[in-house]
Amino acid sequence: MGLFDQVLSTVGGLAAQQGGATAGSSLPEVVLHWLNDPQTGGLSGLAKAFEQQGLAHVVASWISNGKNLPIDAHQLQAVLGSDTVQRLAAQLGLNPAELSGQLAQWLPQIVDRLTPQGQMPAQGESPLVAEGLNLLKGLLG
């Protein structure tokens, strides 16, 4: 399965699993938009946030070709910050605890699929997040 197909599979699977989203938004769509936001810093910014919370080994496992380490909702909320979690939850019509639980389940898979070679893409090198957004738009109509 090619990289493009893997992202499609992940995004499509997440879209199918996501319930409770409002205003046409789904969890994978919101996450991909958030990761694509320059203020977030993309995957590098996410990895840095994990490092700052002492969880660099967790996100490194998602990026590597090995087994993905789990993360719980509380750890994820600490990494992302309550403001980010509340903002994303509001976009989805979820409460922050629900969002944190869903993100803890799916974010490892999303990061894993966006880093198929076991390495972080160079800044500006990979348009994969944008491609994922385009795929999702096509899936959701």
Per-residue pLDDT, 63: 92
- Position 9 in a domain: no
d(Cα 120, Cα 39) in Å, to the nearest integer?
18
pLDDT tops 60 at residue 71: yes
Residue 18 lies in a domain: no
Higher pLDDT, 68 or 135: 68
pTM of the model: 0.72
Number of structural domains the chain divides into: 1
In a domain, 93, yes or no: yes
How confident is the prediction for the chain on average, in pLDDT?
78
| Confidence check: pLDDT of 113 > 90 | no
Over range 124-129, report the average pLDDT: 52
Cα–Cα distance for residue pair 101/53, rounded to 1 Å: 18
Residues present in the chain in total: 141
Provide the pLDDT for residue 26. 80
Integer CA distances (angstroms), 53 to 38, 57, 122, in order = 21, 11, 23
3-state secondary structure of 29: helix
CATH of the domain at 109: 1.10.10.690
Q: What is the pLDDT of residue 61?
A: 97
The string of pLDDT tens digits covering residues 4-28 is 445 545 555 555 554 444 445 688 7
CA 66/CA 93 separation, integer angstroms: 34
- The rounded Cα 23 to chain-centroid distance in angstroms is 20
Task: Report the alpha-carbon distance of residue 64 to residue 116 in Å, rounded.
Answer: 8
Domain enclosing residue 67, as ranges: 44-141
Neighbour-count burial of 141, counting CB atoms closer than 10 A to its CB (0-12 exposed, 13-18 middle, 19+ buried): exposed
Instruction: Look at residue 22 and tell me if it is in a domain.
Output: no
The per-residue pLDDT for 89 is 95
Instruction: Examine residue 127 and state whether it is found in any structural domain, yes or no.
Output: yes
Q: According to the model, what pLDDT value does residue 12 have?
A: 55
- The predicted model gives 52-58 an average pLDDT of 97
Among 12, 40, 46, which residue's Cα sits nearest to residue 26? 12
